[in-house]
Amino acid sequence: MSEGGRPPGALRRATLDDRPAIAGLIAVSARGLGRGDYTDRQIESAIETGVFGVDTELILDGTYFVVEAEGRLVGCGGWSRRKTLFGGDRFARREAEELDPRSEPAKIRAFFVHPEWSRRGIGRRILERCESEARAHGFRSLEMMATLPGVRLYRALGYVEDERVQYEMDDGVRIEIVPMRKSLAEP
Ligand SMILES: CC(C)(COP(=O)(O)OP(=O)(O)OC[C@H]1O[C@@H](n2cnc3c(N)ncnc32)[C@H](O)[C@@H]1OP(=O)(O)O)[C@@H](O)C(=O)NCCC(=O)NCCS
């Protein structure tokens, strides 16, 4: 946390021009912060198969955010009103259909913070922004498929875990991910 208690950096909506920088940040973040929970092979497979990757649809929807500090991207993450639960552009299993806010949870998607900027409140700040926007769109709950490093952030913000899933990526490598959910009560 920076002086004055505010997380560092400037939060803004991602643009299409950010895509290369977001892809770079995702890879650096996963390699730097994923090691305690996953093997190098699992991390490289997740990047390679697009399980960790940029989802252009979220950027076009205006529901993906980046945090910039010292002239570079240090955090990213978003929410979605569409059915796709995880995965970037290269990921085959995508469902662009829109959700019904009255009966279906919005999705929390692709949070990654630069290792040099972790534990300074950036993830929390992006997540709180996503929650307030999803609420403003009429959603009453949120869900996601969290990575193991992500679970710690989401748990701290009131998300509840379901049974862990062994997900098989397109190259046959398996990775443990965790369905999580939160009800959006009035703030
Ligand atoms: C998960 C991730 C986005 C968290 O980002 P972050 O900016 O470091 O998180 P914050 O600083 O906002 O943390 C908020 C709270 O979450 C919890 N938390 C976050 N990371 C934690 C960790 N490594 N260990 C324990 N608690 C953690 C803490 O309660 C923390 O509050 P505190 O620092 O005051 O104790 C980051 O670790 C990351 O990018 N990981 C690798 C990529 C990945 O797996 N992303 C998730 C995809 S679903």
Distance, C-alpha 173 to centroid of its chain: 21
3 pLDDT higher than 50:
no
**pLDDT for the residue numbered 29:** 98
111 pLDDT higher than 90:
yes
Distance, C-alpha 53 to centroid of its chain: 10
HSE on the CB side for 29, CA within 13 Å?
26
Residue 2 lies in a domain: no
Choice from 142, 152, 178, 182 to test ligand 1 binding pocket (greatest atom count within 8 A of CB): 152
179 pLDDT higher than 60:
yes
pTM over 0.85: yes
Q: Whose CA is nearest to atom 27 of ligand 1?
A: 152
Expressed as residue numbers, the domain containing 102 is 9-183
Task: Out of 6-10, 68-72, 75-79, pick the least confident.
Answer: 6-10
Greatest Cα pair distance in the chain? 47
The β-bridge relationship of strands 106-113 and 141-146 is parallel
Helix axes 122-136, 148-156, angle to 10 degrees: 70
pLDDT band at 92 (very low <50, low <70, confident <90, very high): low
Residue 3 lies in a domain: no
Residue 1 lies in a domain: no
pLDDT band at 186 (very low <50, low <70, confident <90, very high): low
Helix axes 40-48, 19-33, angle to 10 degrees: 160
- Is the shortest distance between the CB of 159 and ligand 1 below 6 Å? no
pLDDT digits (tens, 9 = 90+) for 113-149: 999 999 999 999 999 999 999 999 999 999 999 999 9
Task: Name, in order, each residue with C-beta under 8 angstroms of 92's C-beta and a sequence gap of 6 or more.
Answer: 50, 170
Write the CATH number for 62: 3.40.630.30
**pLDDT for the residue numbered 45:** 97
Residue 35 lies in a domain: yes
- Is the shortest distance between the CB of 47 and ligand 1 below 6 Å? no
- Is the shortest distance between the CB of 119 and ligand 1 below 6 Å? yes
- Is the shortest distance between the CB of 25 and ligand 1 below 6 Å? no
Give the total number of structural domains in the chain: 1
Task: Name, in order, each residue with C-beta under 8 angstroms of 5's C-beta and a sequence gap of 6 or more.
Answer: none
37 pLDDT higher than 60:
yes
Residue 31 lies in a domain: yes
Average pLDDT, the chain: 93
Residue 152 lies in a domain: yes
CA-CA distance, 139 to 132, in Å (whole number)? 10
How far is ligand 1, taken at its centre, from the CA of residue 57, in Å?
A: 25
